[in-house]
Chain A
Amino acid sequence: MIERIWRASLAPIAAAVAAIAISSIALLISGNNPIDAFREMWQTIDSTESVVLIINRAVPYYIAGVAVAVGFKMNLFNIGSNGQFILAALVAGWAGAQVSLPPPIHVTFVFLVAILVGGGWALIAAILNVTRNVNVVISTIMLNYIAIGLVAFLLSEFMSDPDSAGLVAQTEEMPRSAQIPPLDDLIELTGFHLPPGIDLYGFVIFAILLGVGYHVLLNRSRFGYDLRLSGENPDAARSAGVNPKRMVLITLFMSGAIAGMIGLPFLLADPNFHKYGDAFPATIGFTGLGLALLGRNSPIGIAAAALVWAMIERATQRLAPIGIPAEIGKILQGSFLLVAVIAYEVIRRRNDAAATAAAAEATARQRLEAQPPGPGSTAGAPA
């Protein structure tokens, strides 16, 4: 068990060391003291307030990572998760403000709209793939930009709040029944106290459920087995009776549906939003791509990656006042991601090579035991 954890964390640790080294060099080149910078970053995140803000920020990142991880598992690169996210956030935010329902049903309604819009938008790419053989990477990139235009169009033509029209483009605020209460009591129970104005998203519980569901679906269900098999060996999957077209349709719909939920923490649980507008953080879908890569498509890995991402962003917030560029966070994140991706690949190839060598050796030994090479035998010759 300990060895497994060590193995899984070897590459991220190497990447973290490399990232810190690279950003230290960048700081040195720009004439700053890296030690000061990292000390200030640590002091910024070392408080209850910061921990809660980091968790809040990590929640949508995490959902974004899981959304693309579903597709990655099957070698389906849903680059368009950002488009699915913004379109779903807009329509769900708008629809949520149009109805008044009892609280649990209202929240469920907003969820359903987001899932259907996000999944439906991804389904366009899936249908083009299975009927017209269009590459998913290409179609989802195009659909990303079409979604940006469509969101601006829908917002300005149909869905903006008439009261705020002319000032900022945004949907009406959703009623209280569509809001998930914060989890502050839970924090108080653990003995920590939150400063006023800081809430822990009630959405955290849902994010955990999503991770558990994702894990069970992928590793404990027939569908998950088919999905992983289709990703690792499409030929074997086809021989085993898996319908590849059906898999593409379902998987992309799921990926899009989860991407549709990226905006829900803001819509349902953040008092600053409860609506879709120009202020919405509209590039989280892209961040999710990086997080799924970092977390190697596993729910715990993605959660860890999302927390690290959010932590770096929080930590660099107070650098500017002491004269250190806050953008060093971007360098940290970027070099961390790139080195981690390379390290994973190197380790994977090394393991594969070791496994292949072990298998070849075992086969050779078996053959030797079953049939001792006589004179003139070709047992030693390469197959």
Chain B
Amino acid sequence: MSITAEPVTQESPAARPGWRRSRWLPYLIALAALAIMSITRILSDTDDLTSSGTFGVALRTAAPIGLAGLSGLVAERSGTINIGLDGMMVMGTIFAGWWGWEYGPWMALLGGIVGGTIGGLVMSVATTTFGVNHIVAGVAINLIAPGVSRFMAGELFVGVQGGAITTSPGNKGAIGAFTMPFLSGGDLFGWTTPDILGWIEDHGWFLLADAAGLARGLTTAVSWDVVLTIALFFGIAYLLWHTPFGLRLRAAGERPSAADSLGVSVHRMRYYGMALSGALAGMGGAVLVLFANRYQENQVAGRGFLGLATMIFGNWMPAGTAAGAGLFGYAQGITLRTDPGSLVRALILAAAISLTAMAVWMAVGRRWQALGFMSVFTAVTFWAFFVASEPNNQLVFVTPYVVTLIAVSVGAQRLRPPAEEGIPWFKGMQ
């Protein structure tokens, strides 16, 4: 007997047109999205909408969300619903702030991983060993972590120059950044290479300039912790779907009794899963600390939950999670640009174009109920945007959550979580 190491594809009850299942579909959607952005940029004359600067900031804000999503993905694939990952991110920020201040930025990254792992293991003791309901344990972790963090901050930072109970004195040095040579004008052995993408971007051609802006944003002055984050997406995908360990880990989430009958220790797998999940969440916290260059209280600000949202949005797959994180990171990133107001207005236009396209598609497919829900959410959101006297950051803040709510209510039937996640498992259970 063998279990296939390929991702499980969903069997559709009715025969679907072939193009829907094509592996090129995600790329087509991405291209269409970029085209819509490009049209919007030209129509509304806001070059910053798809500039490399905007995409660069978006990548920076997407990294912690993506790590949180990846953290949730690993936990849920191994069978534990990790509502507590927000608390684990908080643990990551306090440890990162501490070690970053004492030893420097790379130790901050390690500290975040250590702090998050502690959180993950504590939760796993409750959920795996004692079989506590996963939501209950996660809620408990989320309530505890800010308390522990505040206690530690009081002990570590109060009375230190530049420190307070709400903030660390600041990291010792910066982590440095990477710029791709030749494409984005990075240095190569002291020689400044040509900035080809920058040259294309400056010409403002339809689609080409936007693609160059995207590529240049992703390859210019990318902080090393973000580079590591991107690498982790590939690493985790490889680990889970192309190694025996990954197969065992996923088996613990899909069918623990089957895994057990083949000699896999389900409890050990779930502990590994939660330790890795905590480490990723804690690293997400560390990335926040490295961005702000210090620990700040409430720095996480619900990004753990946002990460869970991206994971669901991404259908429990790394690529989907990365796409979700990119989308939400972009929504957060534009608020950090010089003129967020014009960007928000341009985005409304882009959203209107793409939602109309989606609505037409749904109407053609006669999915009236889904269409109804999407229209209600969309109408309310647009109403709020148009009523606002000035482009309101609060509404941009809300956008990712509305998008996720639309995504889960329109596509809930197509989402496929691990089969037996969230169910405590003990030896001898079926």
Contact = CB atoms under 8 A, between A and B. Distances in A.
B130 A325 contact: no
Given A30-B155, A331-B151, A290 B143 contact: yes
12 contacts: A77-B135, A132-B408, A137-B135, A139-B405, A141-B308, A148-B397, A153-B395, A156-B392, A290-B143, A328-B151, A331-B151, A345-B126
A145 interface: yes
Interface string A330-346: 11011101100110011
Interface residues of A, number: 47
Interface string B121-145: 0100110001111011101111111
Contact of A286 (B131, B143, B150, B308): B143
B402 A293 contact: no
B83 interface: yes
B130 A138 contact: no
B388 interface: yes
A345 B130 contact: yes
B409 interface: yes
B394 A146 contact: no
A349 interface: yes
A330 B147 contact: yes
A145 B301 CA distance: 10
Contacts of B394: 148-149, 152-153, 156
Contacts, number: 150
B104 interface: no
A334 B83 contact: no
Interface of A: 26, 30, 77, 79, 128, 131-135, 137-139, 141-146, 148-150, 152-153, 156-157, 286-287, 289-290, 293, 325, 327-331, 333-335, 337-338, 341-342, 345-346, 349
A142 B401 CA distance: 5
Given A149-B397, A286-B143, A335-B144, A79 B83 contact: yes
Contacts of B389: 157
Contact of B404 (A142, A156, A287): A142
Interface string B276-310: 00000000000000000000000000100110110
B128 to A, nearest CB: 12
A289 B139 contact: yes
Given A327-B147, A330-B146, A146 B140 contact: no
A290 B140 contact: yes
Nearest to B144: A334
B412 A337 contact: no
B151 A26 contact: yes
Nearest to A287: B143
Given A148-B394, A333-B144, 7 more contacts: A143-B405, A149-B398, A153-B392, A157-B392, A334-B145, A337-B143, A338-B137
Contacts of A338: 122, 126, 137, 140-141, 144
A324 to B, nearest CB: 10
Q: In which size bucket is the chain B interface?
A: 35 or more
A289 B143 contact: yes
Nearest to A338: B140
Nearest to B398: A149
A143 B126 CA distance: 27
B387 A157 contact: yes
Contact of B147 (A79, A134, A137, A333): A333
A337 B140 contact: yes
Contact of B373 (A132, A135, A137, A143): A132
B426 to A, nearest CB: 9
Contact of B131 (A150, A156, A287, A349): A349
B421 to A, nearest CB: 11
A334 B143 contact: yes
A222 to B, nearest CB: 27
Contacts of B154: 325, 327
B155 A334 contact: no
Contacts of A349: 131
Contacts of A30: 151, 155
A209 to B, nearest CB: 27
Given A156-B392, A349-B131, A145 B373 contact: no
A157 B388 contact: yes
Nearest to A328: B151
Contacts of A325: 151, 154-155
Contacts of A287: 143
A142 B405 contact: yes
Interface string B53-83: 0000000000000000000000000000101
Nearest to B308: A141
A341 B151 contact: no
A153 B137 contact: no
Contact of A341 (B137, B309, B412): B137
Contacts of A131: 369, 373
Interface string B382-414: 001001110010110110011011001110110
A63 to B, nearest CB: 18
A342 B130 contact: yes
Contacts of B133: 345
B412 A141 contact: no
Contact of A141 (B125, B126, B309): B309
A331 B147 contact: yes
A153 B141 CA distance: 30
